[in-house]
Copies of this chain bind each other. A is one copy, B any other.
Amino acid sequence: MSDTDAAAPVAALPTVLGALQDPVRLEVVRRLANAGQPLRCALTYDGISKSTAAHHFKILREAGVTERVTIDGNVHLRLCEEALNAEFPGLLDAVLRAANADADTPE
């Protein structure tokens, strides 16, 4: 059973870039993109509290970057890839390419 909250429309470019410019939020987006499917919220971050994560999720959601989806009674995060690509062609791909390159670089 799947039940979807209404997704926010994709925000203006500065707001979307502002949502993506935080390392925690960038990692959430990177994990969602690489998973290719909605993820349980807890799988999208490490090393921060639930309330800090909730703050970041809110910023992503309000920018129209992610939405909340309930699957089998569990809240998941879904990346709004189609909407972002329609609004800002190539932006998400370029950001993900860079974020994945960073993540692959040994510290």
Contacts and interface: CB of A to CB of B under 8 A. Distances in A.
| Dominant SS among interface residues on chain A | helix
Size class of the A contact interface (CB-based, 8 Å): 20 to 34
Contact of A14 (B23, B88, B91): B23
A43 interface: no
B102 A12 contact: yes
Contacts of A14: 21-23, 26
A46 interface: no
A98 interface: yes
A36 interface: no
B95 A13 contact: yes
Contacts of A15: 21
Nearest to A88: B98
